[in-house]
Amino acid sequence: MPNARATHLTRRGILAAGGALGLGAALTACGDDDAKSGGSDDGTAAAKSGPWSFKDDRGKTVELDKVPTNLVAFTGVAAALWDYGVQVKGVFGPTTTKDGKPDVQAGDLDVDKVTVLGNEWGKLNVEKYAALAPELLITTTFDTAGTLWSVPEESKDKVAKLAPSVAISVFDRQLTQPLQRMWELAESLGADMKAKKATDAKAAFEKAAARLRAAAKAKPEIRVLAGSASAELFYVSGTNLSVDLEYFKALGVNFVEPSEEAKKATGGWFESLSWENVDKYPADIIIMDDRASTIQPADITEGTWKQLPAVKAGQVIARSPEPILSYDKCTPLLDNLAEAIENAKKVG
């Protein structure tokens, strides 16, 4: 979960929301042929007949008369489903950059084949959503209440009435759990999980996990700090709630942890530092939030940042706080961190 974004969540009260969205009545409009095919001929989802049901991570079971094809999803979720051959009709969340290129959270999603209902977090045009005759809305949840990620608080009731929803939890668990849940969801929607593309991707992920474990074991002294930048503040993430950091830690990566007292103000997610205090925690590698809503390392002009030992040593890599939950997209996250640790010098 992004550091700057977590503050936004707290301000809007989303993380404190009491309970998940209710399930609305499913609309029965059928999707067109494009909605039945995904981004690859290898593992393309096939239309299924008969009843469909799926129990999500809120404990909610959605039951429909047929497999839904008119799907709407948060952009990162749509990107994960695309990797498995399942195409959605509409997306909400960061989808394209100012120059029209796919956002980092869109992965390999063909952004020209989807209706963008809101091109930033927390935006979803209800009228456009209704026009798609959605059968199912799919997103993630970052809290125990099951709050639907990026569904606007002010229109959540209207959204709920148009179609049922499925949420995959990415809160306080290791990355492998939501990866498996997204796999199960894609399979239920018609994806061929025995296809070579899918099985090869899963095998590559397992190989990358073994590599990261070995790298961490070989260099336990290398300290890794997860950071995120805004114009005013630098955020240091704790590892106890984020799916990627929890998993990396379980593989043996030695993370810098903010103090528990400092994290209390953000519900345990992170600590906010002024740029004058950005050197509070010594680190050998810094992994930085790669989303467009944050300032990227090359664009940070603060002198205190440039003087950090890890920065001077060139030991800064990207991190995806909202990973695309397909094995294909998560494998590079493991490999990149493993490579950074393998090549890192003790500098912090």
- Give me the residues paired with residue 242 across strands: 171
What does DSSP assign to residue 60?
Answer: -
For position 264, what pLDDT does the model report?
83
Half-sphere exposure of 279 (CA within 13 A, CB side): 14
DSSP SS3 for 79: helix
Burial of 250 (0-12, 13-18, 19+ CB in 10 A): middle
For position 46, what pLDDT does the model report?
53
For position 22, what pLDDT does the model report?
28
For position 38, what pLDDT does the model report?
38
For position 45, what pLDDT does the model report?
57
For position 42, what pLDDT does the model report?
45
Q: How far is CA 119 from the centre of its chain?
A: 16
Structure pTM?
A: 0.86
- What is the number of other CB atoms lying within 10 angstroms of the CB of residue 271? 24
Mean pLDDT by 10 residues, the chain (348 residues): 42 30 28 36 54 97 97 98 98 95 96 96 98 98 96 97 98 97 98 97 98 98 98 95 97 94 85 96 97 95 97 98 97 98 94
2 close to 289: Cβ distance less than 8 angstroms: yes
R_g (Cα) of the chain, nearest Å: 20
Element (H, E) at 204: helix 196-218
Tell which residue, 24, 60, 27, has the closest CA to residue 131: 27
Q: Which two tokens stand for residue 331?
A: 């494998």
Cα(278)–Cα(233) distance, integer angstroms: 9
For position 260, what pLDDT does the model report?
85
Q: Which two tokens stand for residue 77?
A: 């979720």
Tell which residue, 284, 249, 277, has the closest CA to residue 262: 277
Tell me how long the chain is.
Answer: 348
For position 268, what pLDDT does the model report?
85
Element (H, E) at 141: strand 136-141
For position 49, what pLDDT does the model report?
65
For position 21, what pLDDT does the model report?
27
What does DSSP assign to residue 174?
Answer: -
Cα(264)–Cα(246) distance, integer angstroms: 18
Distances (CA, A) of 1 to 258, 293, 320, 322: 15, 13, 9, 6
